[in-house]
Each structure stands twice: as C-alpha cells, then as structure tokens.
C-alpha cells in the first residue's frame, strides 16, 4: 500500500481489491471532478423532472386504490424491470454465484426507508395537493445534509447551509399555501404532516446508499434495494393487495402505475444511487428544490389549475436556493 496521500487526479489503488471496489472507494474518498461530477448533476436533474410528474400522476391514482397495494405492485414490477436490465447488460445480481447478496440486511434497511416514503406519499395525496406535498419534498436536502453529517461525517459549508435554509423557508411558505396567518399559527395540513415522515426516511436514504454500498454495480445494488422494498410493502399492504379488484380499476390507475413503475421507481432508483456515489448527500437531494416549480407547471398546463402568485413565489425561492448551492464549493463526498 502506498504511504503517501493520493491526489484527486491519481487516486491510490491497492492490488488486493477488485477494480470496481477501488473505483467506488476513490469516489467515496476523493473530490469528484470532471465528467463524473457532471454526470451526477445531470442524473439528478432528470430525477427531479420524473419525481415532479409522479406527484400529479399519484394524485390521479390515489383515490382509486389502496396505497400499500399500489406501492407494492409498482415495486414488484420495477424489480422485474431492473432484473431485465441486469440480464441484458450481463450484470450479475450476486457475487460468487450466491443466491443472496452479501449482508442482505443492508437492502432491507434501504427498502424499508423507501417503502415508508412511498406509502406516506400516496396517503398524503389523498388529502393534500400535489403542490404542497411537493413542497414538503423540498425539505429533504436539509434533512439529507443532516444525515450526511451523522452517517458519513460530511462537512456542510456556510454557503451550502444558507442555501438549504433559504430553500426550506420557501418550501414552508408553499406548505402553508402562502397564508401568513396559517404559518404563524402553525396550521399545517394532515397530509403534509404524514408525508413529512416519509421525507425524513427518504432523506436518510441517500447517505446510507454510500455507507452501505460495498462496490456493487449500480444495477445490482438497485435491483436488491427494489426487491427488498417490494417485499416490505407486500407485507405492509397484504390486505389491500388481496382486496383490490385488479382487473376493474379505472384506466388512470393503470397509466399512473405504469409511469410510476418505470420512470419514478426503477429509473429514479438508478439515478439516485448513481448520483449518490458522485455527489455529497446534500447536493444529491438539492435537486428536489425544483419539484414545486415543475409540479406547478405540470398542474397548470394539464388544466388542473394554477397556484396563486404568493405560493409561486415560495417555489421560486427554492429554485434560487438551488442556484446558490450549485456554486457552493462543497464537492468532497
């Protein structure tokens, strides 16, 4: 083993470790620069777009099906999609031909966190608007940064902290629907409160991905996380799954389920885990700042109504916070 400190452009390697593990170690310990850094940012921009649309699709499907049943079914289908991706790209799902991955409890932890997030999301969308739930989602970067400090001892710069607080202020304004009286009396809706629990779980997810990853390829890691989440949700939503008349649901449930399965389950899991290995946890989730603005546009152009200017201003504040964070020199993960 070399005794000197590795430079950012020439990370140290050990002949005793496989290349994939070494590559992951260099990502975890070095400043991410160049193309890898840009790919992480582009992955999260796409993530934000897909997540934003999921709130509108979820709001359409939520009244017609049990939250646990819908969440479990989409994760089962997403696991199949990821399995097919692994099959056609020839990525092995386990090492050394074992039936299960090493330390499968890692994936049970991650799957449980995401399961709570998605169940609370659909329960919240039954009684809260997509815009307000999307605003709660923008609190995630601040929460994720906190978990990054706890789990990974990550440093949060002053500029990054300021941007996180600005975004949180904008999100809170949207959550309270631009009503100063409701804000002062802390009159938060039940749906927003329910979803906040899920957002806390999702905030812990990003830093835990890096902490629990052992050098597995992203496709392999994503598959086992999806499968674990599907298993957890199948247990939670067992009654809803059995009692749902799957052949006679409204068409909107099938279309929404298809979108949620392919784009905001399989693909976003891949994007989130890809970016989590290349960017700080707070920056990974900072792209959630874009969700209220995207949701406002989606809801407005789809004919479901526009928010009042005061609420739109709160969403704009979160976007400005993202711009501040983008220039924060906090690229060490």
pTM: 0.70
Q: What is the pLDDT of residue 101?
A: 87
Whether the predicted pLDDT of 149 surpasses 60: yes
Between 5 and 99, the more confident residue is 99
Q: What is the pLDDT of residue 186?
A: 58
Q: Quick check: 281 and 144 in contact, CB under 8 A?
A: yes
Question: pLDDT for 43-92, tens place per residue?
Answer: 888 888 888 888 888 888 888 988 889 889 988 988 998 899 888 888 88
End-to-end CA distance of the chain: 23
Q: Quick check: 186 and 55 in contact, CB under 8 A?
A: no
Q: How many other β-carbons are positioned within 10 Å of the β-carbon of residue 309?
A: 9
Band (pLDDT 50/70/90 cuts) for residue 27 is: very low
Per-residue pLDDT, averaged over 136-147, amounts to 82
Q: Quick check: 205 and 113 in contact, CB under 8 A?
A: yes
Per-residue pLDDT, averaged over 265-271, amounts to 80
Question: pLDDT for 249-262, tens place per residue?
Answer: 999 999 988 888 88
Lowest mean pLDDT among 4-8, 71-75, 119-123, 209-213: 4-8
Dist. CA 199–CA 213, nearest whole Å: 21
Q: What is the pLDDT of residue 326?
A: 63
- Residue 68: phi, psi to the nearest 5? -65, -40
Dist. CA 125–CA 128, nearest whole Å: 5
Whether the predicted pLDDT of 18 surpasses 60: no
């Amino acid at each position: 083993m070399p005794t000197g400190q590795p430079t950012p452009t020439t990370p140290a390697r050990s002949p005793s470790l496989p290349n994939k593990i070494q590559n992951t170690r260099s990502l975890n310990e070095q400043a991410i620069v160049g193309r890898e850094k840009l790919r992480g940012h582009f992955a999260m921009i796409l993530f934000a777009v897909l997540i934003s649309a999921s709130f509108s699709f979820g709001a359409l499907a939520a009244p017609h099906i049990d939250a646990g049943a819908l969440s479990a079914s989409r994760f089962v289908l997403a696991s199949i999609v990821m399995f097919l991706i692994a099959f056609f790209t020839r990525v092995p799902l386990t090492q050394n031909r074992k039936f299960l991955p090493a330390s499968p409890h890692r994936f049970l932890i991650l799957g449980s966190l995401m399961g709570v997030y998605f169940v609370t999301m659909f329960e919240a969308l039954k009684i809260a608007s997509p815009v307000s739930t999307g605003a709660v989602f923008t609190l995630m970067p601040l929460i994720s940064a906190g978990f990054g400090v706890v789990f990974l001892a990550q440093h949060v710069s002053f500029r990054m902290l300021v941007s996180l607080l600005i975004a949180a202020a904008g999100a809170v304004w949207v959550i309270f629907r631009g009503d100063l009286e409701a804000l002062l009396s802390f009159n938060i809706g039940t749906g927003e409160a329910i979803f906040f629990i899920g957002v806390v779980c999702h905030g812990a997810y990003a830093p835990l991905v890096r902490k629990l990853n052992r050098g597995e390829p992203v496709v392999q890691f994503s598959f086992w996380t999806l499968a674990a989440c599907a298993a957890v949700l199948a247990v939670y939503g067992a009654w809803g799954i059995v009692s749902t008349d799957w052949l006679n649901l409204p068409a909107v449930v099938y279309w929404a389920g298809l979108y949620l399965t392919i784009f905001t389950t399989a693909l976003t899991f891949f994007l989130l885990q890809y970016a989590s290995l290349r960017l700080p946890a707070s920056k990974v989730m900072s792209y959630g700042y874009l969700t209220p603005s995207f949701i406002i546009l989606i809801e407005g152009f789809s004919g479901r109504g526009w928010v009042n200017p005061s609420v739109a201003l709160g969403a704009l504040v979160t976007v400005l916070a993202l711009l501040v964070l983008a220039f924060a020199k906090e690229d060490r993960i």
